[in-house]
Structure formats: structure tokens, C-alpha cells
Chain A
Amino acid sequence: MPPADPRAGAIYDLGYRAYDGPRLGRRAAVLSLYVFTLRAAFGIGRRPAAKVVPVLVTAFAFIPALIQLGVAALIGSRVEVVAPWNYLGFSEVPVALFCAGAAPEVFGRDLRYRTLALYFSRPLRRQDYALAKSAAFITALAVPTLGPLLLLVIGNGLASEDVPGYLAGHWRELPQSLAAGLLIAAVAGLGSLAIAVHAPRRAHATAAIAAWFLLTLPVAAIIVEVGGGAGRYAAWFSPFDLLYGAALAIFGREPGADSIQGAAGLPIATYLLLALLHAAAALALILRRFQRVQA
């Protein structure tokens, strides 16, 4: 009802009450952010067009493993062409495209539409936000990087005539695959996110991530081939060559003579060490960005 004198100010009690019950707090906020980002990476809860690229690319990452298992099952051949330790050599293009397509979406919307203030006005801290989203993206990326390795290990085991005997000889491959798949997801994922948070537009981030993965491959190969003594260090600077080397180190394999790691002749443990360093540096870049960004 309007007051008698329309110029007199008044505040009406509409019956709103403040919430003073228990609140879920920081941990629940982190968890829901993690789940939300993980779903969004595969386009779950988004329009159908957003699902096409992640699903297609993930499917392609599984194809070499399926071919290997299928051929082994049909022909009964024990020739192991596609193995957990060399799998990245077959899946690098789908993995790169997964990162190029999905990584710009992880932080991109919040940075572009300046919605960060809505998060930071909650119990969530800045590093919580960055860590929860990064962890979710690494988890999403683990589907194409770790999934096919597990499929291969388990499939090979089930396909062998002597399952206990196979297990006795190959049980190490399971923890090794876990370590390699997660390492690939962490390094590739954090690296992509570090690029994405520094790119002003989604298109720039996509192009930069694709170039970081796919352009460095031929360039490093050429430099190692022709660059001589100093050129061999180029193998450290292409992310997939680095990760391939790290996977070799995890599985305790020696590089083949025709591989870039074999040509470079660098100690194989250095790849593992540098990959871990890479992930740490990328994470530091992401955290720094969100320490500084204006919410």
C-alpha cells in the first residue's frame, strides 16, 4: 500500500527472512565446481552440438586399442603392435584436439563474462577455484589418455589363455598404465589450461593449444634430425615427445631406434623429470593468473 504522502520514503516488510541454517561450505563448493566442470568438458548438460567434438575425439583415442584387441581376438596373433607404453604415439592427435576443443571452455566463460566475482564471494578461495577446475579437466582428459591403456591391459589379460600366468607376468602394467595415463593427462591438461587462461578469446586459445601440441612435433623431429649435438635437446620441448619419453621411463622401456627419443639419445629418466616439472610450472602459471585476475 502506498504511504499517505508519496514523498515519504518507506521500506515494506514483504516477509523475506535471512537463512541462518547450516551451510555446506568450502568443500562442497569445490566438489560441485569439480563435477560441473567435468560434465561440461564432455558437453553433458549442454546443447547436443557441444557434445560432438569431445565424444568424437574420445572415440578416436580408443580406436587403436580396440583394433589391437580385435585383431588379437580374431586372429589369435600375439603380435603386440599397440601397447600401453607406446600408446601415445597412436592417440596424440585425438588427445591434442580434445585439449584444443575443451580446455578453452574450462575457464573461458568465467574470464570472458567476468563471473568470477560470483565464485569468490563464496567460501571458495581463488586457488580452490583454479584447482577444482584444473583437476576436473585432468580427470576429463584422463578418459582418452588413461582409458585406452586400462582397456588394453585388461583386454590382453582376459584374452590370454592362461589368465593367472598372464597376471603374474604383467601385473606391473596396471600401476604403470595408471601412472602414465594420469601423467599424460596432467601435463597435457595443465599445459593447455595455462595457455587458455592467458588467451583473450576462445579461438586464440584453441589455435595456440593445437599449435603447441601439433606444430612442435614435426619441428622437434626435424631439429633433432638435422640439428646435431645441440639439436637433440629439442625432444624435450615438444610436449608429446616429452610425454612419450616419460611413458617409456614409467614402463621401463628403451626407445626404438627410429623414434625421436632414440635419435636424441638423452637419458630416458630426464623426460619423466621434465614432464613433472612441466606440470608444476603450468599449474603455477594458472594459479598466478587467478591470484591476479580482477574478479
Chain B
Amino acid sequence: MNFPVARLTARMLLGQRRTLLVVLLALLPVGIALLFRLAAPADADPERFTARTLLGGMLTGTILPLVSLVFATGAFGQDIEDGTAVYLLATPVPRRDIVVARVAVAWLAAAALLVPAALTAGAIAIQGGDPGIVAGFAAAIAAGSLVYTIVFTWLSIATSRALVAGLLYAFLWEGALSGLFSGIRFLSIRQYTAGIAGTFFDLPASVYQPRLDPLPALVLAAAVGAVFLLLAVRRLERWETGEAA
């Protein structure tokens, strides 16, 4: 961990206007939970709504990848696009330390937004249901945002269009295609997140059923995170300044 790099990254993220939008994004589930609490029809099942729609659907399915993507590309993609990455790379700091510092800051930023959002929104919506649902998703989001951040950091180093590539992955691969091909669950950070959350509660399959068991989800998440962290370091060690011939 290199603290000057981490501090610089934190200031980059805080100084960007998009961070404000991301904060609004994280507040969205809280607003929805309030709406549910105030206006839900009497026959609504709070556990089902919280696990399936609010935390398992909107938060882990859409907001988690979006927030991780914005922070990961904000940390590295911006630096490379502007040409300022050279000021970090032309120093004796090992490239591994640069990647680790950036991943750590982007992950902390994402988790610092999403975990409280999950806890608050869940606490509002659950209304006396199993609190394990809320705790489980909060923990799973903390883990999932780390894996997402690592993969999207690798994307930012490897391609100049990391944002679009990340959207393709999150919405086409994990979203639209995983409905058609169930094997995608083994290669989907969203399913790892859902699987990890499933450790903390026991709901009937008709209400909420993760597509991966906790153990494979955790192992796969750890493996994907480790592999892509190594790939990101390797890619940065071989990084070449983008220059038109």
C-alpha cells in the first residue's frame, strides 16, 4: 500500500463531479425503501421485497456494478486518458503498489457508500422481518464491490473504453444473457454477491433463491478477485504510453 498514491486517488475521486451523482445513486434505494414503508399495499411481504427487489435486485443488480465501475474508471481510466498517469508510473514505486492503492481507495469509496445504503434501506424496508437479510446483503455488497472494483480496474488499464466495456459486462453478460444461459452464474460477480448474501438468511425458494451456494460463491469471488488483481498488476507493468504513431 502506497499512501501518497492512495491519497492522490482519494482526492481525484472526491474532486470529480460524477462522485456527487454516485452519492445520489446510492441514496436511491433508501428513498425506495421509504416509499415502500409508507405506501406499500397491505398484502406486500417485506422480506420478499427487501431480499428480492430492493437489495438483491436493484442494489446488487444495478447500483453496485454502476458505482464500482464509476469509481474504478474514475481512479485509473481518467488518469490514463488525461496522460497524468505518467507522473505515477515514472517513479520507483512498484506498479503492484500503485494498483493495490488504487483498488483499495476505489473499493473503500464504493463500500463506504453502498454498505450504509444497504443497511439503511434494508432497515427501513424489512419491518420486523429477518435482520439477517439486511446484514447478509451488506456483507455481500462489501465483498462484491471489491471484486467488481478489481475487475473494472483491470479493464481501465487494459482498454481505453473501460466504461462501455464494464457496462457490457454488467448489463449484457450478468443481466440479459445470464437469464438465457444459466452456466453464466459461475462467471458472474452479481451471482457471487447473491450467493454470499445467502449465507446469512434462509428464505423459501419461492421468495428468494441465490443461484450459487455460499461456498462456491465465496471461492469463485476470491479466485476471480485474485486473478484479476494479478492481471491488473501485470498489465500495468507492461503498460505503454498511448501514442499515435
Task: Please determine if A and B sit in direct contact within the complex, based on CB atoms under 8 angstroms apart.
Answer: yes
Residues of chain A contacted by B167 (CB below 8 angstroms): 97, 100-101, 206, 210
Residues of chain B contacted by A96 (CB below 8 angstroms): 171
| Contact B18–A227 (Cβ < 8 Å) | no
| Contact B168–A203 (Cβ < 8 Å) | no
The one of A60, A219, A231 that contacts B58, using a Cβ cutoff of 8 Å: A219
| Contact A101–B164 (Cβ < 8 Å) | yes
Query: How far, in Å, is A62 (CB) from chain B's closest CB?
Result: 13
Cβ < 8 Å to A, chain B residues 135-192: 159-161, 163-165, 167-168, 171-172, 175-176
Task: Encode B58-84 as 1/0 by CB contact (under 8 A) with A.
Answer: 100111001001100110011001000
| Contact B54–A206 (Cβ < 8 Å) | no
Alpha-carbon gap, A206 to B167, bound state (A):
9
- From B40, which residue of chain A is reached at the shortest CB distance? A226
Alpha-carbon gap, A162 to B25, bound state (A):
53
Interface assignment of A116: CB less than 8 Å from any CB of chain B: no
| Contact B39–A231 (Cβ < 8 Å) | yes
Q: What is the total number of residues of chain B having a CB less than 8 Å from a CB of chain A? A: 40
Interface assignment of B238: CB less than 8 Å from any CB of chain A: no
| Contact B172–A94 (Cβ < 8 Å) | yes
| Contact B57–A207 (Cβ < 8 Å) | no
Most interface-central of B21, B53, B58, B168 (chain A CB within 10 A):
B168
Residues of chain B contacted by A200 (CB below 8 angstroms): 17
Alpha-carbon gap, A53 to B162, bound state (A):
11
Most interface-central of B81, B163, B175 (chain A CB within 10 A):
B163
Interface assignment of A222: CB less than 8 Å from any CB of chain B: yes
Interface assignment of A93: CB less than 8 Å from any CB of chain B: yes
Residues of chain A contacted by B160 (CB below 8 angstroms): 49
Residues of chain A contacted by B18 (CB below 8 angstroms): 203-204, 207
| Contact B175–A93 (Cβ < 8 Å) | yes
Query: How far, in Å, is B127 (CB) from chain A's closest CB?
Result: 12
Interface assignment of B205: CB less than 8 Å from any CB of chain A: no
Query: How far, in Å, is B29 (CB) from chain A's closest CB?
Result: 9
Alpha-carbon gap, A218 to B74, bound state (A):
25
Query: How far, in Å, is B38 (CB) from chain A's closest CB?
Result: 9
Query: How far, in Å, is B16 (CB) from chain A's closest CB?
Result: 9
Interface assignment of A225: CB less than 8 Å from any CB of chain B: yes
| Contact B168–A53 (Cβ < 8 Å) | yes
Residues of chain B contacted by A57 (CB below 8 angstroms): 168, 172
- From A217, which residue of chain B is reached at the shortest CB distance? B62
Interface assignment of B35: CB less than 8 Å from any CB of chain A: yes
Interface assignment of A223: CB less than 8 Å from any CB of chain B: yes
Cβ < 8 Å to B, chain A residues 36-72: 49, 53, 56-57, 60
Given contacts A219-B58, A231-B39, contact A210 B66 (CB under 8 A): yes
| Contact A215–B66 (Cβ < 8 Å) | yes
Query: How far, in Å, is A235 (CB) from chain B's closest CB?
Result: 15
Interface assignment of B49: CB less than 8 Å from any CB of chain A: yes
| Contact B164–A97 (Cβ < 8 Å) | yes
- From B44, which residue of chain A is reached at the shortest CB distance? A226
Cβ < 8 Å to B, chain A residues 221-254: 222-223, 225-228, 230-231
Residues of chain B contacted by A214 (CB below 8 angstroms): 62, 171
| Contact B58–A218 (Cβ < 8 Å) | yes
- From A229, which residue of chain B is reached at the shortest CB distance? B39
Interface assignment of A211: CB less than 8 Å from any CB of chain B: yes
The one of B21, B41, B49 that contacts A228, using a Cβ cutoff of 8 Å: B41
Interface assignment of B36: CB less than 8 Å from any CB of chain A: yes
Residues of chain A contacted by B164 (CB below 8 angstroms): 53, 97, 100-101, 206
Query: How far, in Å, is B58 (CB) from chain A's closest CB?
Result: 5
Alpha-carbon gap, A214 to B18, bound state (A):
17
Residues of chain A contacted by B70 (CB below 8 angstroms): 207
Alpha-carbon gap, A22 to B226, bound state (A):
66
| Contact B32–A93 (Cβ < 8 Å) | no
- From B159, which residue of chain A is reached at the shortest CB distance? A49
| Contact A206–B35 (Cβ < 8 Å) | no
Residues of chain A contacted by B171 (CB below 8 angstroms): 93, 96-97, 210, 214
Q: List 27 A-B contacts (CB under 8 A).
A: A49-B159, A53-B161, A53-B165, A56-B168, A57-B168, A93-B172, A94-B172, A97-B167, A100-B164, A101-B164, A203-B18, A203-B73, A203-B74, A203-B77, A203-B81, A203-B163, A204-B18, A207-B163, A215-B28, A218-B53, A222-B54, A222-B58, A223-B32, A226-B49, A228-B41, A230-B39, A231-B39
**Pairs A-B, 6 closest by C-beta atoms:** A93-B176, A101-B164, A226-B40, A218-B58, A226-B36, A206-B163
Known: A97-B171, A101-B164, A218-B62. 10 other contacts (CB 8 A): A93-B175, A97-B167, A204-B17, A207-B21, A210-B66, A223-B32, A225-B53, A226-B32, A226-B40, A227-B39
